[in-house]
Amino acid sequence: MAAAGLGGCGPRSAAAKAKPAVAHGVITISFSPWSAGAWTPTIQRLLAQAVAPFEAANHGLKVQLVPPPGGCCNPAALTAALVAGTAPDIVLNNDFGGYAEGGYFLPLDAYLRRDNLDTHLWSPAQIASFRSWKGGQLLALPTYYNTAAYLVNLTTLDSAGISYPDPAWTHDAFLNLARRLSGSSGGKQRFGCNLWYWTSQAWGSDWIYRAFGGSKVEPGGMHCGLATPASLAAGDWIYPQVLWSKAGTTQDTYGGYTAQFVTGRTAMSVQQTGTLLAAVTQLAATNIKWEIYPFPVFPAGRASFGGDQFYAISALTPHPEQAWALLRWLSAETQWQKAAIRIFLMAPALLSLWPEWISIVQSVAPPLRGKQVKWFADAAMHGYAYPSSYFRYVDATAETIIQGCFSELAARKTSVRQAFTSAAKQIDALETANAKAPVTTLSQQRSAGKQQRGRIGQMFLQGG
């Protein structure tokens, strides 16, 4: 499948690097590493060692590691911190949709042009998801590329006398195997597979529609693609054939898919690189024989989940040049990413680092030695790992509508065609209605907040 198109920079390399204009005295730039476990003393010490080369190469700059507002996956907390002016200089999250407009982040295109950085250093699909609608400005760079592959329980296959699958398997072969592996085990339902398709929320579901040649969000962001024949075909595969038949289940608890796999509840389980460290810890404690397989080949080609984790520069940073210098080092250079691979098994942002990622994770994580970890890299390097796409004006509301659609289908209260068509109509109507409505910008939110604080203060003065 063709990756999303890009605008922006021409074919340049990362070789030429401009030095930031550093003022006299020490300037501190804050940012958050992408890991919930980054605040233990040992990890903090390792991360401090990892940023030391940047500080040494940029005299007068000091890096401050801080927890992300509300955690790595909390856009509401990040938005509040951005509006309040308390966010780090470089922010991170994994839900870009709410930030496409509004002036929260500094545009990066001019920095990229000045420093001769080509956007093709990163996944085209990721870069495309970090652009604003107005003028296509690039507002963020990848933190890392969270791709996915399948863990297959070979012990279960051996016990059932079933041959191991071919890595070139089609979605039909995958489904047939899932059906053969599903059933009752110890009084509990055993699912042949799980899907990276959350019935409790719409986030992360884009890849499955692309796998059938459809989309959740059509180009331009103002139309929902769920009612198209290709997306309906995806729904007809997901619900009647996989979920309703109990050949598979969905992943609704962060990290829960690995627990399902090691306890025998699923025989084939999605695994993302973002939780690979936790997964290998669990896998090392079992006697299961397992292997890594790619996502199957669907009607429109190979497709799998891809993350949209991003770094961006807060529009309110007092030191934009210095913040850019650090962002460039984090996402466009190799030292930090190699350290993150060794510490967290974190997948790289740079496409060129994937071969080295394979080598490093197999050397530092014994359970991965001899395993086909190449399939995580393959999804990124061959452009079939797809991040979430977002709607132009009412992304949060649209996600809520789609979530309601999924919930109705999970409860078997409606048909795929009725649910998808209804959701698409509602979203398209809202997009059309909001097309002429002004976007609430960061400056407007800050102004409204100041006015509100002023009114409250005046009330107290009058009361006194």
Identify the burial level of 65 via C-beta atoms within 10 angstroms of its C-beta, where 0-12 means exposed, 13-18 middle and 19 or more buried: middle
Q: Are residues 196 and 282 in the same domain?
A: yes
* Interval 117-169: pLDDT, tens: 999 999 999 999 999 988 899 999 999 999 999 999 999 999 999 999 999 99
> Would you say residue 451 lies in a domain?
no
What's the mean pLDDT when you consider all of the chain? Answer: 88
Q: Give the per-residue pLDDT at 421.
A: 98
* Interval 210-269: pLDDT, tens: 999 999 999 999 999 999 999 999 999 999 999 999 999 987 655 588 999 998 899 999
**Which domain range does residue 178 map to?**
148-303+391-432
Q: Are residues 356 and 327 in the same domain?
A: yes
Distance CA 87, CA 314 (A): 7
Considering only residues 114 and 6, tell me which one the structure prediction assigns the higher pLDDT: 114
Domain holding 155: CATH number? 3.40.190.10
pLDDT > 70 in the chain, percent? 90
Q: Please, which pLDDT band fits residue 71 given cuts at 50, 70 and 90?
A: confident
Q: Give the per-residue pLDDT at 120.
A: 96
Say which DSSP state 411 is in: T
> Would you say residue 37 lies in a domain?
yes
> Would you say residue 107 lies in a domain?
yes
pLDDT > 90 in the chain, percent? 72
The rounded Cα 422 to chain-centroid distance in angstroms is: 27
Q: Give the per-residue pLDDT at 99.
A: 87
Q: Give the per-residue pLDDT at 7.
A: 29
Q: What is the mean pLDDT of residues 26-42?
A: 90
* Interval 408-418: pLDDT, tens: 999 999 999 99
Q: Are residues 172 and 281 in the same domain?
A: yes
Q: Are residues 298 and 265 in the same domain?
A: yes
Name the pTM for this structure: 0.88
Q: Are residues 225 and 187 in the same domain?
A: yes
> Would you say residue 397 lies in a domain?
yes
Residue 4 has pLDDT above 50, yes or no: no
Which residues touch 404 (CB under 8 Å, ≥6 apart)?
423
> Would you say residue 43 lies in a domain?
yes
Indicate the range of 14-23, 50-59, 381-390 predicted with least confidence. Answer: 14-23
Distance CA 99, CA 107 (A): 12
Give how many domains the chain has, as a whole number.
2
Q: Give the per-residue pLDDT at 290.
A: 97
Distance CA 224, CA 428 (A): 6
Residue 62 has pLDDT above 70, yes or no: yes
* Interval 362-375: pLDDT, tens: 999 999 999 999 99
> Would you say residue 279 lies in a domain?
yes
Distance CA 276, CA 92 (A): 20
Q: Are residues 92 and 241 in the same domain?
A: no
Tell the residue number behind the tokens 């938005």, with chain if given. 79
3-class DSSP state for residue 66? coil
CB 148 within 8 A of CB 380: no
Say which DSSP state 265 is in: S
Output the CA–CA distances (angstroms, integers) from residue 153 to 9, 150, 197, 218, 242, in the order listed. 44, 10, 20, 37, 18
Q: Are residues 159 and 269 in the same domain?
A: yes
Considering only residues 114 and 70, tell me which one the structure prediction assigns the higher pLDDT: 114
Q: Give the per-residue pLDDT at 428.
A: 98
- Partners of residue 149 on adjacent β-strands: 271
Q: What is the mean pLDDT of residues 386-402?
A: 92
Residue 309 has pLDDT above 50, yes or no: yes
Q: Are residues 211 and 285 in the same domain?
A: yes
Q: Give the per-residue pLDDT at 437.
A: 78
Identify the burial level of 205 via C-beta atoms within 10 angstroms of its C-beta, where 0-12 means exposed, 13-18 middle and 19 or more buried: buried
Q: Give the per-residue pLDDT at 9.
A: 37
What number of other Cβ atoms are within 10 A of residue 436's Cβ?
Answer: 7
* Interval 162-221: pLDDT, tens: 999 999 999 999 999 999 999 986 778 899 999 988 877 777 789 999 999 999 999 999
273-278: long-range contacts at Cβ-Cβ below 8 A with a sequence spacing of 24 or more?
A: 273/144, 273/145, 273/146, 273/147, 273/148, 273/345, 273/346, 273/347, 273/376, 274/144, 274/146, 274/307, 274/309, 274/346, 274/347, 276/345, 276/347, 276/361, 276/365, 276/376, 277/344, 277/345, 277/365
Identify the burial level of 410 via C-beta atoms within 10 angstroms of its C-beta, where 0-12 means exposed, 13-18 middle and 19 or more buried: middle
> Would you say residue 331 lies in a domain?
yes
Q: Are residues 345 and 427 in the same domain?
A: no
Q: Are residues 182 and 326 in the same domain?
A: no
Considering only residues 446 and 281, tell me which one the structure prediction assigns the higher pLDDT: 281
Q: Are residues 357 and 244 in the same domain?
A: no
Q: Looking at 264-332, list the stretches that DSSP marks H as alpha helix, in order from N- to C-terminal side.
A: 276-284, 320-332
Q: Are residues 242 and 327 in the same domain?
A: no
* Interval 350-361: pLDDT, tens: 999 999 999 999
> Would you say residue 73 lies in a domain?
yes
